[in-house]
Amino acid sequence: MPSSEPKFRVAICGAGIGGLALAVTIGKFSDIPVDLYEAKSTLIPEGAGISIRRRTIEILKVLGMHWDLIKICTPKPNMTNGPHFRLSDNSDGGHDWFHQVYPHGGPTSMHRTDMVDVLVKHLSPSTRVHLNKRLKAYTQTGPSEVTMHFTDGTEATTNVLIGADGIRSPVRRAMYENAAQYDPPPFDVSRMEEYCEPSWTGSMIYRSLIPMSKVLERYPDHPAAKDMMFMCGKNKHILSFPVNQGEMLNIVAYATDPANKGKHFEGRWNRDITPEEFTEVFSDFEPMARALTECGENPSQWALFVTNELPFSSLESVALIGDASHAMTTHLGAGAGQAIEDAWILGRILASKHVNMSNVPRALRIHQAICLPAAQRVVRESAKNGLMYDFRSEEQCHAPRSKESLDRWRMDIGKRMAEFIGANGTAANWYDAELQLRDAIVMNESESDADRLLQKVAAMSLTTSDVTSVSVPVNVPCNCYSCAVMLSSS
């Protein structure tokens, strides 16, 4: 039974997919009051289509969103669909490379706005949304109090602050600036800007959302109308997938200059461009690919940035999730899903009856130990896939596209996609981990021993075919792994 008085208050900066998912999770499993601060005047997000994988769908089902997902997903969850790959950098015509199939269900796509609408629908009454609240910085004003300073000159206090505020996260910067004041600091202060500022990948993304009827009118048998497609070429590729129940086609095209990786990017990160500019970038691609660029409506150009690998994502009673912690390239379609996984695990930790104000910092360190290394592995593997789509890996730069080479690269891409996209939550492995943690409670191990055990459990998750846990067997009472560790130190 929930207590009459909440054990602490939580503030979430950023009402994107990760921030909303965290608020939903906390609200489903506790009565903790949540204040959700959004910098914009609306919850309507930027961007168009997103993909989520099987393991993410499992989380959303547990949160009670299954039937809402059915209405917005293209294709329906659990279908064995997978992307088609083509070699497209030949203006006279390309050819099929391979088709990736997921026997147990592949990724499903939707419009980002539809996903946000579903999450908002499931917010609990204990969550209050504040618009036009852009964080400037925060200060830890006491062991159990954080003061948030907003750009409009106002302030607010909370007990726990979560930065879900994106790749240019003010929470992340304030966290590292505060950590730099420690004696000694918990990180190399000379790398402060590397951790606080995003890094340009050297890639430009071209986005467009096209009515499917327009594509089929121009190219009646275009395979993009049915399945996700990758049209690959040297330093460039085009990704397309249906959204809005197949009524629209989402286009995300990439052009990369490897020499620009890590350089300072001049100007705005995104801008509107003309259809002619879009088409010109891919003028050397096959007609099937050019048909999509020529159909583009209101195209835009985005510089692709990532968060550099962080040494930590929590400090005292403040933590980071999603892009604020590990913004990644889009080459595994894992960004939104990883934010939801962060939110799910953190929400369950904070909602646990074993977590209180005195051990919140420890709870946040547990979230970091479980989620940060796993997400950073996804970041690295996503980058590897991007290199291979564009024939920029070390081997591809020096080897001809022979049948043997193409088969080897196909296997490499396929293995990585199957591992990170087609797999479900490793419930059995994490149930074993939970039992180990319960054993630690019975044995009354010290906090340092429990910490070492936690690191062992986190390492276990990284050696399986998946990255982190998201599901619990239906016949197992939900006393999750993190709750057990909390109890061991209480």
What confidence tens digit (pLDDT) does each residue in 225-283 have? 888 899 999 999 999 988 888 888 999 999 999 999 999 998 899 999 999 999 999 99
pLDDT tens figures, 120-176: 999 999 999 999 999 999 999 888 899 999 999 999 999 999 999 999 999 999 999
Q: For tokens 């088609």, what's the residue?
A: 84
At 192, is the pLDDT very low, low, confident or very high (cuts 50, 70, 90)?
A: very high
Closest residue by Cα to residue 318 from 100, 479, 482, 165? 165
Mean pLDDT of all residues in 409-427: 74
End-to-end Cα distance, the chain: 20
Residue 458 scores a pLDDT above 60: no
Domains of the chain, by residue range, sit at 10-74+110-196+310-368, 426-490
- According to CATH, the topology of domain 10-74+110-196+310-368 is FAD/NAD(P)-binding domain (3.50.50)
Report the pLDDT averaged over residues 79-107. 84
Please name every residue paired with 203 in a beta bridge, in sequence order, or none if there are none. 256
User: In this prediction, what percent of the chain has a pLDDT beyond 90?
Assistant: 55
pLDDT of 142 reads: 85
* Phi, psi torsion values for 254, nearest 5 degrees: -125, 135
Specify the higher pLDDT residue, 365 or 129.
Answer: 129
Query: What local confidence, expressed as pLDDT, does residue 442 receive?
Result: 35
Across-strand partners of 242? 249
Using CA atoms, how far residue 10 sits from 13, 35, 126, 129, in Å, is 10, 6, 11, 12
Say what the pLDDT of residue 477 is.
29
What is the per-residue pLDDT for 69? 85
Tell me: pLDDT of 371 over 60.
yes
The mean pLDDT of 467-476, rounded to a whole number, is 30
Does the pLDDT value for residue 427 go beyond 80? no
pLDDT at 12 over 70: yes
Question: Is 77's pLDDT higher than 90?
Answer: no
| Mean pLDDT of the chain, nearest integer | 83
